[in-house]
Amino acid sequence: MTVAGTAFLRSLDARSRRGLLRECRSLAESSDGDLAAEFLAEQPTHAGRDAGLVRLWAQRASEFGAHLDVEASSGPPLRVFERTNGLGQLLLARFSSRPVPTVELYTDTLALADELSAELGWLEWFPLGAVRQAAMAHEQAHCHLHQQRAKRELKRAVDASAGRIGRLRFLAHVVGADELAAHAHAQRVAQLGRSPLLLSAALGLAADLIRSN
């Protein structure tokens, strides 16, 4: 299938291209739950933590995101800009809260995502155009999770203990939980067959190749 986009894959020599596709396919052998747990375990603050506990946090954060009602957010409307040069930074989209809530969509990375999905036979999971919708939903989730009430709700859902004083139990902020929640929200909104974490990891491999060429 031909995809109008970066034509990045076609520009690679046959050997690099085969190598990239093989590595991407081996990523897909991990379940979405495994990918989420790995993502959290890779955060430096979680180094050395119990793997079962980190997996549980990842599961809870993802479940929270999958049920997130961003429409109910009373925040200000988002401004949306399109730009290029996302590949070097491996960015599909970016949210910034100041001066006004804004989403930047990186069209070069979105085009590569479509190209890679088509080449890998992953369009059933990530249909053309759906990644853009997912990227928007992902950033909208970040915007929502920026609000104090949503932050507290996520913390309660992940339920990681920071310690106790007497009968009072304190909840810890789990680094990376908001990212997993945003991915799960995006997957539901864009009706993706697999977690966007899989496509992000595949794009990461492609970006490594771009940098080394």
How does DSSP classify residue 165?
A: E
Taking the least distance from each CB to Zn ion, the nearer of 20 and 197 is 197
- Residue 119 or 179 having the CB closest to Zn ion: 179
Distances (CA, A) of 209 to 7, 21, 198: 14, 12, 17
* Least distance CB 136 / Zn ion (angstroms): 12
How would you classify the pairing of strands 79-83 and 102-106? parallel
Judged by CB, which is closer to Zn ion: 3, or 203? Answer: 203
Which residues are CB-neighbours of 190 under 8 A, at least 6 positions away? 130, 131, 133, 134, 137
Q: Which residues bind Zn ion (CB under 5 A)?
A: 179, 182
Question: Least distance (Å) from Zn ion to the CB of residue 142?
Answer: 5
**How far apart are the C-alpha atoms of 133 and 176, rounded to whole Å?**
22
- Minimum CB distance to Zn ion, residue 179 (Å): 5
Q: Quick one: tokens of 206? A: 């492609």
Smallest gap from residue 182 Cβ to Zn ion (A): 5
Shortest approach of Zn ion to residue 26 CB, angstroms? 24
Q: How far apart are CA 186 and CA 189, in angstroms?
A: 5
| Cα 141–Cα 146–Cα 152 angle in degrees, nearest 5 | 100
Strands (E), the chain: 79-83, 93-96, 102-106, 161-165, 168-171
**Residue (21 or 174) nearer to Zn ion, CB:** 174
By C-beta, is 114 or 179 nearer to Zn ion? 179
Q: Which lies closer to Zn ion via its Cβ, residue 182 or residue 201?
A: 182
CB 16 within 8 A of CB 178: no
Quote the least distance from Cβ 183 to Zn ion, whole Å.
Answer: 7
